[in-house]
Structure 1
Amino acid sequence: MSRRFRAPVVLPADPACSILRDAVVDVDDSGRITFCGPASGAPDLGGAFVTDLSGILLPGLVNTHAHSPMTLLRGMGGDLPLLRWLHEIIWPVEAKLQPSDVQTGMLLGSVEMLRHGVTMSAEMYFEGEQIVDAVLATGARVVIGPPIMDLPGMNWRTMLADIDKWIDADGLRFGPGDRIELGYGPHAAYTLPVEALRMTAESAAERGALVQIHVAEAALEDEKQRAEHGSVPKLLDEVGMLSGRTLAAHAVHLSDEDIALFAARGTGVAHCPGSNSKLASGIARLAELRAASVKVGLGTDGPASNDDLDLWEEIQLSTMLTRLATNDSTAMTGAQAFLLATRGGAEALGRDDIGALEAGRWADMVHVDLDDPAFAAGLDVPDEQLMANLVWAAGSRRVRDVWVAGEQVVGEGESLRVDRAKVQANVAEVSARLRG
């Protein structure tokens, strides 16, 4: 049965970042949008069920880079720089993880994101099957790139072969509403030999799969690769990785040449300003990336380096840091950053079925209510002021209801499918064991 959602304000996340007044979103029984526009021009749906909302309806946010099971490690080593943090704290603790621990951590991460209006996340983490089970339980959406690494106790050839087999068995997308997408997660150029990068690129290209890879996150991480190949983007291009669907996470230390290469190849970038700032990795060149028409989305990174999964904070940080980096308060607007978190994130992932409220896309939707000082002036204000109040003042605080593929998964700010208190207790138990 078709359903109609009506709200005084709808943000479709079209390229112009339009604000529709008294508008509707129609959803068919498969969970896809059939119409989004002013109520006055909406088609007659006969006896369709109508949901009247009191505030703002917008697309589910797209988190383009996360390691969400790391809710288990939140707060560990939080005052160390990236490479020390990885080698001294994170990797030793992760070696103690059991498969069920990953599912527990992902359950909490997925619930946390949904409560913030994040319906899709691009995950790079171990135990992919456990991550899939957790996301199907919460009702969210995920693209999982199981990591491929060349470290003691890890065989990159086996890890690559396992992903190949999984995709060949289950396909790229599956689950209700295509909630699950499989891909590849080569960790970084500095943790893999060139042969591994080349073979991963070939496997992904053969299957049309997304490759997620950390690129130029910290200034000193890839000195060897830069000396031998000029830059990590050049190395990835040499092995064919930039010829397919590729998402470069962080991409902080890029040259003009690197940016032009990403633009020419259609490479996506996951911009993670919160994590980059906390680890002092640097300020990514977002203004230059956007000027070159590189496809950029926003990411939280892991909840052990950020330390939350609130993409609204990344919207604010991306805007503020760009203004500071350019010494120009007009270099980035709140509306432009909002698009990075929605439509832009989908484009960076190579997806045209999420990230906006448009006919044919999945009905991943977020209802923000008005019971907050941020909206004391109400909705009857100029469009620019309304967007400012949403992005700068309200953020995730008033996310009340969330739908994924037309199915409600959050109501009144809480998960409708998972007992959050129980999941939090389970995370506390696992975290205590890992610290022991």
Structure 2
Amino acid sequence: MSLRLHAPVVLPCDPACTVLRDAVVDVVDGRVAYVGPEADAPEFSGEVRRLSGILLPGLVNTHAHSPMVLLRGMGGDLPLLRWLHEAMWPAEAKMKPDDIRVGMLLGAVEMLRNGVTTSAEMYFHGEQLTDAVLAAGSRVLFGAAIMDLPGMPWRPMADEITRWIDADGLRFGPDERIELSYGPHSAYTLTPEALGEIAVEARERGALLQVHVAESVEEDVAQRASHGSVPRLLEQAGVLGGRVLSAHSVHLSPEDVQIYAKYQVGIAHCPGSNTKLASGIAPLRSYIDAGVPVGLGTDGPASNDDLDLFEEARLAALLARVTSQDATAMRAADALLLATRGGAAALGRDDLGALEPGRWGDVVHVDVDDPAFATGLDAPDEQVLANLVWASGTRRVKDVWVAGKQVVADGETTNVDRREAQAGVRAVAARLR
């Protein structure tokens, strides 16, 4: 399968955030084969699509609980811990495995329509969740949620994901669209010993470990009192050293940041959820300056409440500017890279998040027939990037390809009927209320 996409502007999301003019993206057997000016492109015998607008890599959502579209709007005015205990966990206890598929299917549809081709999900019932992702045509890093709560011992949960990885491998499915990982929930739902044991299993398999860290001030007071901070607890427990993704990570000290830099712990920065739940504002610039890999996450659609990574990019940049009182603290290009290349790096994936030869051909087409682009694509590079990030966002996402296969056409998903997916969520949500 060979596909050439041509557009007036291509954003490969290389480290310099280059703006290519009159350029093409060649996808052969699912992976990018060439990106560059059409004038320099090699001969091509496959399908050629000439598009208006902008091409960029599929966005990477580094932290989500997408099946929670079933719970969207519940407890929306509660702080984090009350929201969990009073609204989320009681409703989730009523969920059936098939409900997870219903929720994830609509979540995947919503993300694809927003240009998000990959999400890192921490949730339950992985077989149903990954089946929904395969049906929609997107990618997922599924982190099996592991907690130690009354009636929910942690070890069987950890053993289950270990058996699955050992049976099917770390990545599988068409175009390796499924990756399995471990999702120990947090240091306040698991002991240090349990976290350490789970980390050993993950490292032995090269698997990602996803964990919530320091989301709010109140959640891990006991852990900070006994260990100084959650990152120090993770270091002392032997959790760090492999592929580790630290979700939220709002309240980190300079010493904590150095620990993360030492072990190259990835951070999933979730500014929308953190501001809505009044959890705090992460010092994003300090993480980046220290060399910590940082990507963006939406968190769950019951705490955000959308799955819009362009919105997260804008909010991350705006908060970085206002908290530092420095309008240069985060440029439009920096925000775009967080949503693409940065997200892939935070997940420990070098095959996503950029349009470079060898990476998967996950491509987003943004139409520019919109007031946001009234100044035209012949404007200077910085202005084109600014109009994409600050003014347009997801509303002009028109087409999306995953591994060269079209999964969104003219704004609607091609594999799943969006309205049917919405009706499925509506029926389940009525039972969970």
Which residue number in structure 2 is paired with residue 34 of structure 1? 33
Q: Counterparts in 2 of 1:19-418, with a 5 A limit?
A: 19-28=19-28, 30-45=29-44, 47-418=45-416
SS of aligned partner of 2:394: coil
SS of aligned partner of 1:100: helix
Cα deviation for residue 224 of structure 1 reads 1.1
SS of aligned partner of 1:145: strand
SS of aligned partner of 2:6: strand
RMSD between aligned alpha carbons? 0.7
* Bigger Cα displacement from structure 2, 293-302 vs 237-246: 237-246
Cα deviation for residue 48 of structure 1 reads 2.2
Cα deviation for residue 15 of structure 1 reads 0.1
1: CA distance, partners of 2:150 / 2:57 = 42
Cα deviation for residue 152 of structure 1 reads 1.6
Of residues 422, 427, 430, the one that matches 2:428 is 430
2: CA distance, partners of 1:207 / 1:2 = 33
SS of aligned partner of 2:210: strand
Which residue number in structure 2 is paired with residue 3 of structure 1? 3
SS of aligned partner of 2:268: strand
2: CA distance, partners of 1:233 / 1:5 = 44
SS of aligned partner of 1:211: strand
Cα deviation for residue 281 of structure 1 reads 0.2
Cα deviation for residue 194 of structure 1 reads 1.5
Output one character per residue of 1:243-296: Cα deviation in whole Å (capped at 9) or x when no partner: 100000000000000001101101000000000000000000101001101000
Cα deviation for residue 40 of structure 1 reads 1.2
Aligned partner letter, 1:330:
T
SS of aligned partner of 2:101: helix
Cα deviation for residue 241 of structure 1 reads 1.4
Where does structure 1 differ by over 2 angstroms across 4 or more consecutive aligned residues? none
Cα deviation for residue 155 of structure 1 reads 1.2
Aligned partner letter, 2:168:
D
Output one character per residue of 1:89-129: Cα deviation in whole Å (capped at 9) or x when no partner: 10011000000000000000000000000000000001111
Aligned partner letter, 1:23:
A
Percent identity, aligned pairs only, is 67
| Native 8 Å contact 1:201 1:239 kept in 2 | no
1: CA distance, partners of 2:338 / 2:395 = 19
Output one character per residue of 1:127-181: Cα deviation in whole Å (capped at 9) or x when no partner: 1111100000000000000100011221101000001001000100001110000
Aligned partner letter, 1:12:
P
Output one character per residue of 1:10-37: Cα deviation in whole Å (capped at 9) or x when no partner: 0000000000000011111x20011101
2: CA distance, partners of 1:299 / 1:434 = 26
2: CA distance, partners of 1:327 / 1:376 = 30
| Native 8 Å contact 1:8 1:56 kept in 2 | yes
Which residue number in structure 1 is paired with residue 14 of structure 2? 14
| Native 8 Å contact 1:218 1:253 kept in 2 | yes
2: CA distance, partners of 1:393 / 1:372 = 10
2: CA distance, partners of 1:197 / 1:3 = 45
SS of aligned partner of 2:70: helix
* Bigger Cα displacement from structure 2, 338-347 vs 234-243: 234-243
Output one character per residue of 1:211-266: Cα deviation in whole Å (capped at 9) or x when no partner: 00000001011111111111110111112211100000000000000001101101
2: CA distance, partners of 1:223 / 1:375 = 48
Q: How many aligned residue pairs are there?
A: 433
Aligned partner letter, 2:43:
D
2: CA distance, partners of 1:108 / 1:318 = 25
| Native 8 Å contact 1:142 1:181 kept in 2 | yes
2: CA distance, partners of 1:193 / 1:331 = 38
| Native 8 Å contact 1:149 1:186 kept in 2 | yes
SS of aligned partner of 2:141: strand
Cα deviation for residue 2 of structure 1 reads 2.5
SS of aligned partner of 1:184: strand
SS of aligned partner of 1:247: strand
1: CA distance, partners of 2:31 / 2:110 = 24
2: CA distance, partners of 1:10 / 1:326 = 32
Q: Which runs of 5+ in 1 are unaligned?
A: none
